[in-house]
Structure 1
């Protein structure tokens, strides 16, 4: 399970002499895909490697939009890339970004999907918290020794549009839209060509799962956010493209929900199929 750590704990870990971790900078901007790599080059937490959302943590986009804006990467190719960064199956991985933890969470979800069994940590507050605490930055790009990562894909963690379509309206399944409420209700849509949500989905904005320091709220608070869900219900989370739903995935896991799945293509995939229904407004 993923753990969120404070900037002070991050400093302790990085200064503690542990050699078997990889620190991953996951900064990214959806409206400027080159921005994250540019700020990494200008300065990052010393020792961090850069992981690019579209180049490393996503597969190629399809012309018809199927798979969404950030399709899942090929597991074998992702495993090779992880290995080139020094990440093996049991390596401790610490990730950060500057967008509330969503891009770091995408990396962590992919690691879980591939069967990574090492410790997975996200630095709360990201690079901004590191700087605010007086942490140093570096422009030096590390050259980690490549290791072997053997993927063991956890098939049940990711679902597609057909799977979601079959579960709409089932009493033992809850579909959760992780986007901001106006996008969920279909009032605005700044990114994708259609506005609205998957029929029957409820809305739980992913950022509401965090406190002001960027730490994941405790299980008690998550249970309040997801009140009404049974612990053994099937829960499917989605967002715009399978990135910002991952914090809700981990929030649900932290609260004890055991049957949580990610609709990997999410809304951008859903609307690529002409026959898929689109709902607007609030669900009862």
Structure 2
């Protein structure tokens, strides 16, 4: 079963196995942190619950660790249980289109050892374009027990990144748009550019010209310059838009793929760390 699923697949799943399925709405706007929850209350897929990037999928920022640090995983596991998820539950996540926030929750659940997790291709728009109903009814699900099995090999911290770059034993990817990677534009942080040594693979290029996820073969072609024998560390600005690239690499057959959760925002929180603005 593919990680990426269609609206008709989800519709069928909700009709035939609703008790074993949890749908999660992750819509969010970085420039308006209340917009996602408001959108959920105005209309969402029936039976969907809402999780917030800042409140549920991240920790409060500190001096170091980036602007969207990983949440406390015990608290995260408790929240998953509270919305009806255990390791026998099929989880389907969506946002407005194919945005980065659904992939962030996919990554967190995968990091916590849950395998049966899917993204709705095209998000809420795809659901509505198929003529399926939305509701304003807030969903309350019976709680379950979610036991996390943390995959420590799925993350790299700043020390790992420095060590791997110095020894040239891993490839670092920057998932942001090229103008931010090159330091030509930086709307969020006090420094512009990228971590020296990082290669640029804009995360939106895992989607086709219709905004749908590319096939596994197309994704394999997208990353053809990278060896499947190498360790790949994926970063972005704060560890959110890196997640679609992590998933895309996994779908393309890469296995040694890690997320640098702090990413560029963590890197520049240390004054001694240099940044680069040329293509690498």
TM-score, structure 2 normalization: 0.96
Deviations 1:224-273 (A, max 9, x none): 22122111200000111111110100111111111000000111111101
Paired position in structure 2 for 1:58: 58
Deviations 1:132-164 (A, max 9, x none): 221211110111111101111110111111111
1:4 maps onto 2:4 in alignment: yes
Q: Is the aligned partner of 1:90 residue 2:88?
A: yes
Q: 1:195 aligns with which of 179, 192, 196?
A: 192
Q: CA deviation at 1:219?
A: 2.4
Alignment of 1:203-218 (within 5 A): 203-218=200-215
- In the alignment, is the contact (CA less than 8 A) between 1:23 and 1:95 conserved in 2? yes
Q: 1:72 aligns with which of 46, 70, 73?
A: 70
Gapped runs of 5+ residues in structure 1? Answer: none
Name the residue aligned to 1:138.
Answer: 135
Moved more, 182-191 or 160-169: 160-169
Structure 2 counterparts to residues 15-30 of structure 1, below 5 A: 15-30=15-30
Is the Cα contact below 8 Å between 1:178 and 1:203 reproduced in 2? yes
What's 2:38 paired with?
A: 38
Residue number in structure 2 paired with 1:128:
125
Query: Is residue 264 from structure 1 mapped to residue 252 from structure 2 by the alignment?
Result: no
Distance 2:92 2:220 in 1: 26
Matches within 5 A, 1:225-264: 225-264=222-261
Structure 2 CA distance, aligned partners of 1:80 and 1:171?
39
The runs of 4+ residues in structure 1 deviating greater than 4 Å are none
The C-alpha deviation readout for 1:184-206, integer Å capped at 9, x for no partner, is 01110011111000111110111
Deviations 1:75-96 (CA, angstroms, capped at 9, x unpaired) = 1000001110001123110000
Q: Post-superposition shift, 1:171?
A: 4.0
What residue ranges of structure 2 are gaps of 5+ in the alignment? Answer: none
Q: Name the SS of the counterpart of 1:232 in structure 2.
A: coil
Q: Distance in 1 between matches of 2:143 and 2:195?
A: 42
**Matched position secondary structure for 1:261:** strand
- Displacement of 1:211 after TM fit? 2.0
Q: How much is the aligned-residue C-alpha RMSD, in angstroms?
A: 1.5
Change (3 A) 1:124 1:38: same
Number of matched pairs: 280
Give the Cα–Cα distance (whole angstroms) in 2 for the partners of residues 12 and 281 of structure 1: 49
Please state whether the residue corresponding to 2:3 is helix, strand or coil. strand
Report SS of the residue matched to 2:93: strand
